[in-house]
Structure 1
Amino acid sequence: MKKLSSILLVDDDETTNFVNQMLLEDMAVAQQVLVANNGKEALDLIRLQSDDVYLPELILLDINMPVMDGFEFLEAYEALALKHSVAIFVLTTSTNPGDIARLKETSINGFLNKPLTEEKVLHLLKQHGF
């Protein structure tokens, strides 16, 4: 399995971000793990990294966040029209059928239920050829 250049965690829960960041860093699956507390922060980070080698190859995105939620982020991200390959997975606790139906209409690669575990990360990376 190759080491990713960068993974971006997007979640408004600081504890979740901390735990997920520690998990990913302990697994050594990426050279860098970036953290954003909402979709707007994530877009700002991506714009800052757009000419950098550390542009995220994998984004783990929460749905329900203040400022800019996951759905708004996905819409804005697609408008950026970046020319690099990125896998976006929604990482959520939501079981709302409306959210699930909306997610199926987006360009995400899939979704995972929280909490993030080593097993889920390894399966995701293997399944998507990383």
Structure 2
Amino acid sequence: MNAYPPILLVEDNPVDVDLTLRAFKRRKLANEVLVARDGEEALAWVPRWESGEERPAVILLDLKMPRVDGLTVLRELKSHPLLQCIPVVILTTSKEDKDVLAAYELGANSYIVKPVEFDKFMDVAQQIELYWCVFNEKPRL
């Protein structure tokens, strides 16, 4: 196990992936950031985690994705006894009340609407890093 567990970013938009990776790099994030380009790729991690591969400190999950959407991924993760303790932060462009409500009903730990400006996105990256990777106590499994 690494001293700093990875972060899994689930995002289909290459511009948003790049923006997120640049924001974390600029913050000198110690955690490796793994990328799943859609919900299907995210769910492909489940067997690896079941077989003992290190689970992420937090999963940053977009909602609007092709193949398997974010709410389906969230439902799968939060219904899995081994994975339900992994914090899932919804990081999406949707401000729709129905999406916010559905995410929390399915067990999301936080819901953040992606800022458009890079400086504001840097602030979000800093808050995610500090809260979920530094301050938040996770259960030892």
TM-score (norm 1): 0.82
In structure 2, the gaps of 5 or more residues are: 137-141
Determine the C-alpha separation between the residues in 1 that align with 2:15 and 2:56: 21
Note if 1:124 corresponds to 2:136: no
In structure 1, the gaps of 5 or more residues are: none
**Superposed displacement of residue 46, structure 1:** 4.1
**Superposed displacement of residue 29, structure 1:** 2.2
Identity %: 27
How many correspondences in the alignment?
Answer: 127
**Superposed displacement of residue 85, structure 1:** 4.2
Structure 1 partner of 2:91:
91
Determine the C-alpha separation between the residues in 2 that align with 1:30 and 1:108: 24
Determine the C-alpha separation between the residues in 1 that align with 2:45 and 2:19: 20
Secondary structure (helix, strand or coil) at the match of 1:89 reads: strand
Q: Deviations over 1:61-80 (max 9, x none)?
A: 01111111011001111233
- The residue correspondences of 1:1-130 to structure 2 (distance < 5 A) are 4-50=4-50, 51-53=52-54, 55-82=55-82, 85-115=85-115, 117-128=121-132, 129-130=135-136
TM-score (norm 2): 0.77
Determine the C-alpha separation between the residues in 2 that align with 1:77 and 1:100: 17
Structure with bigger strand share is 1
Superposed CA RMSD in Å reads 2.2
